[in-house]
Structure 1
């Protein structure tokens, strides 16, 4: 049965870029997949919004997938650290407006913008070990103190709209939801069901892991690196060269030690500066 979900007005602002929380990025396991997919399923298994390389999940891509599926029930598999909240709201609106029932499966993580997308499901199922993360709109902005005050005022209605979306599904008081968002709240699978963010838990056999533990660890590190490199504005070829250096100069080698995200950002910014000289 289709739920009556609120529509959200979406609008970006020049000079403001929504971004991924490093906490969410560090907790994301990109090796999780749905056990079975069909031609009426959509996978959201990457950050939300396109980066400079053209990667990421966009409203344009989701709209195309929904056109191909047509007036049939659709399953949306989510494992994403979030990303562009405005792109996420646009995807939420597309799924909300789909004519047939939408079932959302949260496989591992639906953080930030991805948690809003998850709320578009008429039915939401979540893995027992999976998490939702809700917080206020998280952006990068440039300007003087007056411009930044204007950005804060401009963002406030979006945070209110996010709270309204969570309220429509859960029935939790909007003021309490706003407090949860202020605190960046992480909600595990059972907690999501208990609080109304999800309808029930996914069976363990509906989630699969690509590769063994070491391969999964390497994939997670490389995905994090790619996202941070794109954020720093590195060309893909330069990012791949730097990653080989981090691995010890051996293409395809598994790193014995992967620096923390902040260290990688420093490496990327240093290489970016050297490329400009």
Structure 2
């Protein structure tokens, strides 16, 4: 690793300030928040503006916002993103922390498809594979993804009659599923207990893209021999943390 260049670090610090609030700042505000010399801030802002990384805000003299160059860089980054590859890296990190099986899944019709998976380190663990397809309503990731849909989108995906059953605990009533999805929206996380596998329970959190849309969900799956209320709370925190990290890799700057 080479030596860090202070001027470049300060310029990046300035740009990152614009990710907060309403996205506009003045030079005095930047000076105050970064505790930098006024002359230094003036020179850096002038340079960033000259390169189109910052632009003046119309009708607000002295204020700046991010310029088109930052959009171009972000767009190029987004073009190179691979959700499955990024998801695999984050899933590995979460699995190393908790020792349990971690999945990242997307929604297709009324099913979920696992696009990334890292196995538990325990001898007793959930058996699955990337590419596996399961009914969305039977899984924590599926509930999370279904809960993100509009009413019209949800109506299109749910059958008119009973839902498929995978275990005695599977939800088969569309009305009961809607009640569960309302709870998921309120809590911001989803769970399932022995609904897709009679010996496994899961928790899941949403993954968002840079526009804030839920595009995937990350889950942690645990055999019932290691499941408890306390363990569930721990894993919810890890799932949310992992989903937020993956969302940030996709360009989302909010929090789940």
Tell me the TM-score normalised to structure 2 length. Answer: 0.22
The structure showing larger relative contact order (alpha-carbon pairs under 8 Å, at least 6 residues apart) is: 1
Structure possessing the higher radius of gyration over alpha carbons? 2
Tell me the TM-score normalised to structure 1 length. Answer: 0.21
